[in-house]
Structure 1
Amino acid sequence: MEKTIYNKVQKVVKGVLPLSLLTFLPLLNSCNDFLDLKPQNEVVLENFWKEKADAASVLTSCYESLESNDALNRMLVWGELRSDNMKAGASTPNDLSEILKESLLPSNPYCNWGKFYECINRCNTVCYYAPQLQKIDPNYTEAEMKANVAEATTLRALAYFYLIRTFRDVPYCTVPSIDDRQNYVLPATKFDVVLDTLITDLESIKGDAVRRYFVDESPSAWQNSCKITRWAVYALLADLYLWKGEWDNAIKYCDLVIDYKRQQYNDMLQLYGNVNNIDLIDSIPMILEKPVGMTTCGNAYNEIFGEGNSFESIFELSFKSPQSTKNDMVSKFFGNQREPQGNLSASDLLFKDVAQGSNTLFKKTDGRAYEGGELSGSRYTICKYVRTNVSYRTNPVPSTEKDLALSKTLRSESEAYANWIIYRLSDMLLIKAEALIERGQGDDFDKAFALIDIVNKRANDAVGGTRSSTLKKTDYIDSKAAMEDLLIAERQREFLFEGKRWYDLVRLARRDGKNTRLVNLVTRKYQENVNALKIKLADPNIIYFPYAKSELKVNPLLKQNPAFLTGEDTELTK
């Protein structure tokens, strides 16, 4: 039965939902006989949207678009590659090398946004048809319909959020492709307009989203974080408000998620009596690197990145069995058991001489440095998501990397099931901290420092008084600039290789109104042509990707980012 429904969805989706809004019209010419029999909207209504299982099937296809390796590759490349976190690996393909060298061209395949618009179109279809379906299927309740629409609206907002952070202004549409008379050749909508619209959409559906799909003691409870819940909506809203600069709203939605995690923790204590692997760090329940009674660290990494769907997870794209889709992006870019060096490597500045105590980013007691990468030949390989588990001792404090006695297991190619995390508890703590710093009222700096310190303490295993914090409040709270630097550095430490660093720097540049801090941070990884790169990256337009050449050809209303105009592109945009 499920297979039949899935095949039916694929048949409809392939014909009715385009890979890109901008390439929809040419695709109409290749529709199969099934779709040529009647106008498309009649086909969909009469032959597919008949029962609530149809809505569930199309919703599943929305997730599948984002879980495709085409989308995952771009989440990583768009959000990380141009930052100071990454450099070339052992055999980096030319399309990635050109981005790393800031020689990005509209012909680069990573300028293609098709999978994100595929997700958007599928979400639009759910939002359009679900209310009609609810009227004809008595088993499809209004609450279920509204929850499905909330789910689709949030996934659509997430897809658009990736697009505007990458391209700035993008074609925006919430109408599904159900009628061949519709015009899908659209101009780009301004960044701020899209951002405001996404916030309005999420505010309108937040109360309809499911709180949780399974109770916490259920064996299936892990699935609560691999589908959109109300807490995922709140997390996305917090992030959107951060980009908009509405600090109070960003703080409000972070607090809602943080309070929920506190309640979850209290419920676990009531149910089990004690929880050895989670403890309060200054009132926030966090997964411990070294659980109570253990002598080794690595537990937080193992649960969050090795296993996935951890207590701290809010929303992540899941690749757990029995799902057949694999996350090949991790193997391709980072490495695996057979090929420990992927297409990309970590910048030397991240990990060089951490154990010797002379690294400027990580203290020698910070487990994130040892979990995130390691020296392999002349390069630092990326280990986050690659390892299924790690175990190491930090007592006594290591003087060299070998002193850690680090043991680890890497994923094999056949075990490419690493989840991809979109939001977790640390996001909420650091988004709130950033909003507090920018608001800067009363004791906001003290509150922001406390939140940053919680994240830092966990990583340095400073729990239960076993080690004091490695951060000194007096070094930071007297200056907004110092607090911002601390926040930026802590986000870099916490979210290494999670597709967030370049977006953090773009947000910083947008807030500053200039690229100076972005340029100074990014160019640290370069050894050659540094001055030329600084001049190039100073252009406020260049921090965004260009529109793909193929999109300019099919959409005359798109105007290329001026930082990437060539003679040929100028002709296309006239």
Structure 2
Amino acid sequence: MKNYIKNSLRLLCVFSILFSCSMDPELPDVDLAEINTINNLRQFQDGAYQTMVDYRYMGRNQIVAGEVRADNVFANGQTQRFVSWSKMDINPTNGDTEGLFSRINATSANPNLIINANLDNLQGTFDEADKKHILGEAYITRAMAHFDLLRNFGQQYLSNGKGLGVAYVTKFNDREVDVRNVPRATVEENKIQLYSDLQDGIKFLKEGASSKYSADKVRITLDAAYALQSRIAVYFKDYNMVLNISNELEAIINKYPVTPAEDVVDYWKMSSPGSASIFELHLDNGVSHKDNSINNIYRGQSYADIQAFDNILQDVGFEPNDIRASTDMIHTVNIYEAPGKWRNMGKYPSMLSDIGSDNIKVFRVEEVILNYAEALLEGDNNPVKSKDYLNMIPSHRNASLYSDATVDNILAERRKEFIFEGFRFYDLVRFGKEIRDIQPSTSNNHGVVPAGDNRIAMPYPQQELDSNRATEQNPGY
């Protein structure tokens, strides 16, 4: 693992050195992009994982974007980080927004090189299944990055938007495209490309089923691809897309056991993927984010800007014995401060010299279960089967079971299960729920944000507007 990270970081330096917010990165030397061996191919894709786990993307900012704009946490202003996100008053020059935008775009660079490379000419002896698997990983990585770009910057749930999505980049350093004039595609066009990449990725991952990478939880696998498909489909309420892979999702649910209540705290402390994990992004002390980590922004000595609301346990609706509300998971005592500030203590729990070294859990089986329960209810009109899957989670959390499956119950369970993981904002938005003002006294509060409000979409960064004349700003900025 550590060797592949070191090799990937060397490649990442090549592809990130001149990458800006513009849609098409430039290589210092196009010859450096040549892929001619299986090891080279592996390193290119592993470089994409390192871009993805960067604190500006999945290592921190993507998680914070899904929490601080909703009703679980706020930015307390301790170091002024994410204050504008917390207020939902984001300027196009905001550094965290620019970082998120550019790092998501950068994640597609290496996958695009792989997808467009002539892999028929790889030198040396290698397993064809490994080649196919890595190619599948590239397609799924590209889909994942563009989905995150779309749900942060697209207009799919705005009341007065034009239906604009994002520019879906499928080539690296395309000499035939004027990068100063790349318009945003529509949301519907983005969905077509997303679904195409999912289909291609799944195809190649199936062809690479015998690869040594097919069970590697710190790389994308076929199971992770299906998990992503379920995430994207429920976001757009394309429930038939979930139901079409019901056999595959049920197989995943049977394969990856839900973490039992007595193991939840330890599951989050594990340095390697636990049994419920489908895909994690790997971090260790050699490449940890330290001060910029998700751990440090939640409770660290340096930052600790992201704080839970005072009535978090009551508002979420946790029962007293629910392991997710235990003092190991949510507590008012921080080792760095006096009691009184409610903190995420259990998720991404590394502290002191190890802070920033926790893996980022991208897909857990619990998400697949709740995605499937939602599709069974909303797409298949099967509340009985939906309830069975919904109750798989509270039955493993020392919590009461639900008497029936409803959208509100599914959303309530999603909030409990995924609190502090970056799901809440997108769940509220996709169901047309207003974002409540649950603690008006908070200094950096966003107030009530109505469904369809302009602020649901982040502003396009000014750097992108300056470098790409065809890019349109989102309304209200």
TM-score category by the smaller chain?
0.7 to 0.9
Residue 23 of structure 1: how far off its partner (Å): 6.4
Contact 1:351 1:362 in 2 (8 A): yes
User: Aligned match of 1:224 in 216, 231, 253?
Assistant: 216
- Cα offsets for 1:491-522 (capped at 9, x unmatched): 0000011111111112112xxxxxxx223xx3
Aligned: 1:300 with 2:264: yes
Q: Equivalent residue of 1:60, what SS?
A: helix
Q: Which protein is bigger by CA-based radius of gyration?
A: 1
CA distance in 2, matches of 1:543, 1:191: 15
Match of 2:372 in 1: 432
Match of 1:523 in 2: 437
Question: 1:164-563 residue pairs with structure 2 within 5 A?
Answer: 164-168=150-154, 169-177=165-173, 179=175, 181-185=176-180, 186-209=182-205, 210-211=208-209, 224-253=216-245, 255-263=247-255, 285-290=257-262, 299-320=263-284, 324-326=287-289, 328-336=292-300, 342-351=304-313, 361-370=317-326, 371-376=328-333, 377-387=339-349, 411-439=351-379, 441=381, 444-460=382-398, 470-473=400-403, 476=404, 483-509=406-432, 517-519=433-435, 522-527=436-441, 533-534=447-448, 537-563=450-476
User: Aligned match of 1:75 in 43, 50, 62?
Assistant: 62
Distance change >3 Å, CA 531–CA 207, structure 1 → 2: closer
CA distance in 2, matches of 1:4, 1:116: 21
CA distance in 1, matches of 2:4, 2:413: 45
CA distance in 2, matches of 1:330, 1:3: 20
Residue 545 of structure 1: how far off its partner (Å): 0.4
Distance change >3 Å, CA 485–CA 308, structure 1 → 2: farther
More helix by share: 1
TM-score calculated relative to the size of structure 2: 0.85
Contact 1:312 1:425 in 2 (8 A): yes
- Cα offsets for 1:245-274 (capped at 9, x unmatched): 23232134354144145256xxxxxxxxxx
Contact 1:111 1:548 in 2 (8 A): yes
Match of 2:159 in 1: none
Contact 2:111 2:139 in 1 (8 A): yes
Contact 1:331 1:386 in 2 (8 A): yes
Distance change >3 Å, CA 6–CA 255, structure 1 → 2: closer
- Cα offsets for 1:548-573 (capped at 9, x unmatched): 11111111111111122xxxxxxxxx
TM-score calculated relative to the size of structure 1: 0.72
Q: Equivalent residue of 2:343, what SS?
A: strand
Q: Equivalent residue of 1:524, what SS?
A: coil
Gaps of 5+ in 2: 155-164, 334-338
Let me know the Cα RMSD of the aligned residues: 3.0
Q: Equivalent residue of 2:331, what SS?
A: strand
Residue 211 of structure 1: how far off its partner (Å): 4.5
Question: 1:124-135 residue pairs with structure 2 within 5 A?
Answer: 124-129=112-117, 132-135=118-121
Residue 191 of structure 1: how far off its partner (Å): 2.0
Contact 1:126 1:149 in 2 (8 A): yes
Residue 151 of structure 1: how far off its partner (Å): 0.6
Figure out how many residues of one structure are paired with residues of the other and give that number.
Answer: 452
Residue 319 of structure 1: how far off its partner (Å): 1.2
CA distance in 2, matches of 1:434, 1:174: 31
CA distance in 2, matches of 1:373, 1:3: 32
Distance change >3 Å, CA 197–CA 386, structure 1 → 2: closer
Residue 195 of structure 1: how far off its partner (Å): 2.0
Greater relative contact order structure (CA < 8 Å, 6+ sep): 2
Distance change >3 Å, CA 227–CA 450, structure 1 → 2: same
Percent of residue pairs bearing the same amino acid type: 20
Match of 2:160 in 1: none
CA distance in 2, matches of 1:10, 1:454: 41
Distance change >3 Å, CA 87–CA 531, structure 1 → 2: closer
Aligned: 1:146 with 2:118: no
Q: Which amino acid aligns with 1:427?
A: E
Contact 1:315 1:421 in 2 (8 A): yes
Q: Equivalent residue of 2:280, what SS?
A: strand
Q: Equivalent residue of 1:527, what SS?
A: coil
Gaps of 5+ in 1: 216-220, 265-284, 291-298, 353-358, 388-409, 461-468, 478-482, 510-516, 565-574
Distance change >3 Å, CA 330–CA 18, structure 1 → 2: closer
Distance change >3 Å, CA 122–CA 525, structure 1 → 2: farther
Contact 1:127 1:153 in 2 (8 A): yes
CA distance in 1, matches of 2:445, 2:6: 59
Distance change >3 Å, CA 263–CA 503, structure 1 → 2: closer
CA distance in 2, matches of 1:243, 1:360: 21
Q: Which amino acid aligns with 2:55?
A: N
CA distance in 1, matches of 2:250, 2:457: 32
Deviates further, 244-253 or 82-91: 244-253
User: Aligned match of 1:89 in 70, 76, 86?
Assistant: 76
- Cα offsets for 1:43-75 (capped at 9, x unmatched): 247xx4332211111111101101112222221
- Cα offsets for 1:348-372 (capped at 9, x unmatched): 23225xxxxxx66111111101143
Q: Equivalent residue of 1:127, what SS?
A: helix
